[in-house]
DNA sequence: CGGGATCTTGAGGATGCTCAACGCTAGTGG
DNA sequence: CCACTAGCGTTGAGCATCCTCAAGATCCCG
């Protein structure tokens, strides 16, 4: 065996870490239908629905919050629920029998969670920081899909996008060097920030070096070394609390593709 | 730069290589509706449709054959058509600017081709051997999707499956060793053969070592060396014409996951 | 202020890549 | 009919990138 990968037993993840009681509405206005006022509605599945339809959704949703490092779903567990992420960051991952881990994606607000295969989750999901979710029973949501074909269309569109992203990630994992991988990752976060109206030239890394490594197919040490090199070359600046400044996005794009 | 990858200019691919005229029906019986008699119908999108609905599909389909190594679709080209593969093997790939290539999948009969992003293909596709396709204009197929919600549902199911496969491939690319990668690949082909009713203990490699390498994130040489090692360890037998015998599938599964 | 986790840095080594040569097969044309 | 060529697969030698193992630095929270 070789090829890095976190091999710890995924350690302490604070009891269940899931809190149903104190879950606030994503955008707590005084409305009777929090979905209508949801700040991530347009980013997400629910953007396909009218206000009237939203009230149907409202009836089957449970809002909850999850503490950092707490599990959300577990691979091979029956897929009873689907989730919509309304705040925080979630990592999806798969494990090999000996503990090597591959993170297949980081989810942000508006992202959808719960793709299943034969009614069983295809991966595990864990909160990176404090996370807010909308949870739907799968059977109920499927009924809604039958009623609202445009909801199904939206879901198909989201799945297609994920597929395209997955293919980009395969190129990264199979053919890019460590430096190209790290630069691609920084660019991904930058673009994600821009899409959400933030400044793309400074990003926040919510996840650890180990998580980044398991996402890029590298070890923690290689990620750290690559950051150091990029910093001393002036490509990035490392600030406090996981903030990374990207002074030259065009240069970063070139470094991400090896040109 | 480093990290292998075919860098040839994708060379000669015999004119356009696409032949519209001589395209036979997949299963040439004397029926008026070839779709109804299609041998891959159950594997594929069309399995969701009744005979009456099939005749609608029949009206928008064009059958064609493609010669080995000929291009089928080109990344970043407008996505005017979608395809259903009825025979042969197709490879999907993406290129980096310097020519490094990642093959994101091999398609077999029954597989669907043409996922798009913003009306543009997300990858290129090329025939590995002689290929038969059903081609649908995208706009026409989308109209059918609106009419037949169960068709859309089927498509969503197929997309979900692809997503799950893509995640497995990320684990392979990011965390497996060369030997594990090759064994995983052989197992994949074995399972695919079994699903199609063939014997899973002997498979046929339609693609070159270079293609296998670009699929697994390895070089041709490493693929070749790994085959040689597996052969001398008795894990596989190499026969003529790309046939590989897999005497012990359980052993192969262990080798594929490093246990 | 202490202790655990995370991040960084270093030294050494292994896996898989690069470059190169050779064998094999099939197709071509003299 | 057979040399000739082109494409593909195999094998070898050397080496670079990235991993492993280890120790020290930094940060965070109690």
Q: What is the pLDDT of residues A192-246, one digit of tens each?
A: 999 988 899 999 999 999 999 999 999 999 999 999 999 999 999 999 889 999 9
CA angle, B156 then A121 then B183, to 5°: 90
Residues of chain A positioned with their CB less than 8 A from the CB of B173: 170, 173-174, 217
- On average, the pLDDT of chain A sits at 87
Question: How far is A100 from A94, CA to CA, in rounded Å?
Answer: 9
Q: Which two tokens stand for residue A251?
A: 């240069």
Whether residues A175 and B216 touch (CB distance < 8 A) is answered with no
The predicted-structure confidence for B184-206, as pLDDT tens digits, reads as follows 999 999 999 999 888 999 999 99
Q: Which helix (H) or strand (E) holds A72?
A: strand A71-73
State the pLDDT at residue A182.
98
Question: How far is A190 from A182, CA to CA, in rounded Å?
Answer: 12
Q: Using CB atoms within 10 Å of the CB of residue A234, give its burial: 0 to 12 exposed, 13 to 18 middle, 19+ buried.
A: exposed
Residue B122 has pLDDT above 50, yes or no: yes
Q: B116, B99 in Cβ contact below 8 A?
A: no
Q: What distance separates the 2 farthest-apart alpha carbons in chain A? A: 57
State the pLDDT at residue A38.
85
Nucleic strand C within 7 A of Cβ B74: no
Mean pLDDT, residues A93-103 taken together: 96
How many CB atoms are located within 10 Å of the residue A149 CB? 15
How would DSSP label each residue in B94-157?
A: EE-TTS-EEEEEEE-TT-EE--EETTEESSEEEESS-EEEEEEEHHHHHHHHHH-HHHHHHHHH
Is the Cβ of B258 closer than 8 Å to some Cβ of chain A? yes
State the pLDDT at residue B17.
52
State the pLDDT at residue B7.
46
Q: Rank A28-37, B19-28, B207-216 by mean pLDDT and report only the highest.
A: B207-216
Residue A144 has pLDDT above 60, yes or no: yes
Question: How far is B49 from B26, CA to CA, in rounded Å?
Answer: 17
| Residues whose CB is less than 8 angstroms from the CB of residue B137 and which lie 6 or more positions away in sequence, other chains included | B60, B80, B81
Is the Cβ of A163 closer than 8 Å to some Cβ of chain B? yes
Task: Say if B3-169 and B176-256 have the same CATH topology.
Answer: no
Domain ranges across chain A: 3-169, 176-256
State the pLDDT at residue B23.
46
**Bridge partners, B103 (sequence order):** B93
Q: In 3D, which of A245, A193, A238, A157 has the Cα closest to residue B156?
A: A157
Q: Which nucleotides of C are covered by protein (CB under 7 A)?
A: 5-11, 14-20
pTM, two decimals, is 0.88
- Assign domain B3-169 to a CATH class: mainly beta
Q: A213, A219 in Cβ contact below 8 A?
A: yes
State the pLDDT at residue B30.
45
**Bridge partners, A84 (sequence order):** A112, A134
Whether residues B177 and A117 touch (CB distance < 8 A) is answered with no
Share of chain B above pLDDT 90, in %: 64
State the pLDDT at residue B13.
38
The predicted-structure confidence for A38-71, as pLDDT tens digits, reads as follows 888 888 888 888 888 888 888 999 999 999 999 9
Mean pLDDT, residues A69-86 taken together: 93
Question: CA end-to-end span of chain A, whole Å?
Answer: 33
Mean pLDDT, residues B84-94 taken together: 96
Whether residues B96 and A170 touch (CB distance < 8 A) is answered with no
- Residue recorded with tokens 């003529």: B240
Which CATH topology does A176-256 take?
Answer: Arc Repressor Mutant, subunit A (1.10.10)
Residue A76 has pLDDT above 90, yes or no: no
Nucleic strand D within 7 A of Cβ B225: yes
Dihedral sign of CA atoms B128, B246, B40, B112 in order: negative
Mean pLDDT, residues A167-185 taken together: 98
Residue B78 has pLDDT above 80, yes or no: yes
């Amino acid at each position: 065996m070789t090829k890095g990968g976190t091999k710890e037993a995924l350690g302490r993840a604070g009891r269940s870490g899931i809190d149903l009681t104190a879950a606030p509405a994503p955008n707590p206005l005084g409305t009777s239908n929090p979905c209508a006022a949801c700040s991530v509605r347009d980013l997400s599945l629910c953007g396909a629905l009218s206000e009237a339809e939203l009230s149907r959704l409202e009836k089957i949703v449970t809002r909850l919050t999850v503490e950092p490092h707490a599990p959300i779903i577990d691979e091979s567990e029956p897929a009873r629920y689907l989730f919509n992420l309304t705040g925080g960051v979630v990592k999806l991952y798969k494990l090999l029998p000996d503990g090597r881990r591959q993170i297949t994606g980081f989810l942000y607000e508006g992202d959808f969670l719960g793709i299943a295969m034969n009614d069983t989750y295809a991966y595990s999901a864990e909160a990176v920081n404090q996370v807010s979710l909308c949870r739907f029973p799968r059977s109920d949501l499927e009924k809604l899909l039958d009623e609202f074909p445009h909801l199904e269309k939206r879901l198909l569109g989201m799945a297609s996008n994920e597929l395209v992203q997955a293919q980009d990630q395969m190129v990264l994992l199979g053919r890019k060097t460590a430096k190209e991988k790290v630069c691609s990752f920084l660019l991904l976060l930058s673009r994600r920030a821009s899409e959400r109206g933030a400044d793309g030239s400074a990003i926040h890394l919510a996840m650890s070096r180990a998580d980044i490594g398991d996402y890029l197919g590298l070890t923690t040490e290689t990620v750290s070394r690559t950051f150091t090199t990029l910093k001393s070359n002036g490509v990035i600046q490392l600030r406090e609390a996981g903030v990374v400044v990207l002074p030259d996005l065009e240069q970063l794009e070139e470094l991400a593709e090896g040109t």
